[in-house]
Amino acid sequence: MSSQVAAYWYVFLKGVGITLWISWLALILGGAVGLVIGLLRIAPWAAVRWAAIVYIEVFRSVPPLVLFFGCFYGLSYAMKLDLSPFSAATIALTLTASALMAEVVRAGIESVTRGQWEAALSQGMTYPQVFRYVVWPQAIRVMLPPSVGVYISTLKDSSLASIIGYVELTKSGLLVRESTGISFEVLLIIAILYFVINYSISLVGAALERRFKYVH
């Protein structure tokens, strides 16, 4: 690595930190919203189910880039909000992540067989008790692997926040490229950093999955 680029190590490091922070935040918010939407998606009322389906289909179909622009310019204009790039990027990432997580939640809950519900109900449990003690602990094991996938794709989508001027890892690299005039090396570093982050997440996910197995 040329010393010229190496001198900017702290810029890359800060970019990594910000990328981790915003994607983590989006995953937490997206997980919470996704849980609610996922539950509504299997609610006993058709109107509620349809609203959830519309939400899911819209936000997982619209490209993240369009959502970034939509949140940054569109929301600011339509709602007279002065959204910072950070807020706009967080909202955009959360919308996509929540739509994906809603489907993960639905699949997780539906993976628990009817017999489990019936066994628990026949012991006198209420629906919330069945959910909490019997269904959720089983669903979460099914949800874990695809959740890791959602996190990785959210983290990669966060690079698009550079387009609205949010200085995360990609934007940091692009700024270094501008000041040094060195392209290939900088882009290679960015790519390697993304790989290291995402591969680490995969490893942690795999470790969690092993821990969550029923029998050790």
Binding site for another protein (CB under 8 A): 113, 115-116, 118-126, 129, 133-134, 137-138, 141, 214-215
Closer Cβ to another protein, 4 or 123, answer by number: 123
Q: What angle do CA 54, 117, 127 make, to 5 degrees?
A: 70
* Shortest spacing between CB 110 and another protein, in angstroms: 16
Closer Cβ to another protein, 49 or 141, answer by number: 141
How far is it, in rounded angstroms, from Cα 174 to Cα 97?
25
Closer Cβ to another protein, 61 or 126, answer by number: 126
Closer Cβ to another protein, 76 or 129, answer by number: 129
Q: What is the CB-side half-sphere exposure of residue 45 using CA atoms within 13 A?
A: 6
* Shortest spacing between CB 129 and another protein, in angstroms: 6
How far is it, in rounded angstroms, from Cα 103 to Cα 41?
9
* Shortest spacing between CB 25 and another protein, in angstroms: 30
How far is it, in rounded angstroms, from Cα 100 to Cα 93?
11
* Shortest spacing between CB 121 and another protein, in angstroms: 7
* Shortest spacing between CB 141 and another protein, in angstroms: 7
Closer Cβ to another protein, 137 or 165, answer by number: 137
How many CB atoms lie under 10 A from the CB of residue 146? 17
How far is it, in rounded angstroms, from Cα 61 to Cα 188?
30
Read off the tokens for 190.
């960015």
